[in-house]
Structure formats: C-alpha cells, structure tokens
Amino acid sequence: MTRYIDIGNSNIVIGTGNKRITDTFRYKTDMTKSGDEYQALLGHHIQDATEVIIASVVPQLNTAFKSFIARYHGLQPLFVGPGVKTGVKIKTDNPREVGADLVAGAAGAIAQYGDSGIVIDMGTATTVTYYEEKEIKGVAITIGLDTSRDALVSKASKLLQFEFETPKTLLGTNTVDALNAGLLYGHAFQIIGLVKNISRQYSFSGPVIMTGGAAKLIKALLPAHYIFDEHLVLEGLLAIAEKNRPATPSHD
C-alpha cells in the first residue's frame, strides 16, 4: 500500500488508495514538531505502507518526515522534486522554484482531465497554474483566503476573528456579513478574472480545476463549469508514484 502525503504550510494531508485516493486524513502543520512527534501523530497511517511519496512546500519538515518514516517504518520516502519522473514539464524561468504541490496538482489534472488546463489551488496562498500539452507555462500567486482574513483582523482593531460563510448577497448589512461578502466575492472575482484573461492570452478553452482546503468556500460563487477536485494533489502523487516504480519484468 502506498501513502500519499501533501505537506502544506497550513495542513498536512495523508491519502490512501491504489488506483484512486479513497481516504484522506488532515492535520494542522506544526513546524516545531520533531520526527518522533510526527511518528506519534501520524505513524499509524504508515505502519502498513510499502511506499511513501511526499509533496512538500515546507523544507523545515522534510528531514523530520524522512527520519521518522525511515526509522520506524523502514522506508525511504520519495519527495517530489528534481530527478523525479512527474510527467509534467516546467517551462518557467527557474523550474526549481515551482512548488512540489503545483507539480503534483498539474500531474493529477493531466491524469484525469487532459493535457491542458488551469488549476486553482486554494490554501495558505491561492495559486493559478496554467499548463499546456503537459507543460507548466506559468503561475499566478495571490494571498489565500484564510491568510487574508487573519491579516485583516490582526491589523484592524475593531474587527474580531470570524468564520467564513458563503454570502447570500454582494453587500452585507452587518460587519461579519460585509467581511464575508468582501473577502469571498472578492476572491471569487479575482479568480474569475485571472482565468478569463489567461484563457484569452493563451487561446485556451479547456478545463478549470479547483482544489485546496478553501475552495469549497467559494464554490457557489464560481461558474458552473469549474471542476472541484478536493484530492487533486494526492491524485497527482498517485500518478507520479506509478511513473517512478521499477518496471515489472516481462515473462514472455
């Protein structure tokens, strides 16, 4: 059994499954935890694994994960990065700058939705990745929903922390509704505008795929043809894992 791990700045998500991701488990990212502490927290998910593949955008945790997986489970995890077969080419100024999560997201989208597309991943940051014929052409990065809310609340003394709730109208009649309207509609319109202009610039008319923990918050505010795939990055890790396994010997 393979374990697929997405280490993000806000959350760590573990996926299980063979041909498709069937179960997922989400934990808050804690950069202060040691390998032993992560073993205590996550080890039960890995105890019956035969291989582990990881997409990490938190370099500080890579050593901790590598050490506890090797020490307690006898496995060397495969980290998505240079030298790993992904099925995704990166046509940017510095391919090493493109995060493992973006590469895995593109790999998942290619595997399921076609060789060209736009992937929006909503986490700590919101990223918009355009790939064409299995090549990442470029990425737009903006502040994520949770990050923008937390920054606003921390800087405005009269605003209190609140939970996101999909607004019913463009304008709120109380502070919380006004914040939800501004942040959620504002983010949705930003995404719609980016997708529209990327599509025009690249003469693109293919699938637009949404993923990430915050995507569900604005799903109702986006065009109906947008595809929502909660496990896109994990599905990408599944596709990448298949590409990096040794070839099965022929018995002809």
**Residues noted as catalytic:** 101
**Euclidean distance between CA atoms 131 and 137, whole angstroms:** 5
Residue with tokens 């609140």: 162
Instruction: Report the candidate in 198, 26, 27, 34 with the shortest Cα–Cα distance to residue 120.
Output: 198
The residues near 43 (Cβ < 8 Å, ≥ 6 apart) are 68, 72, 73
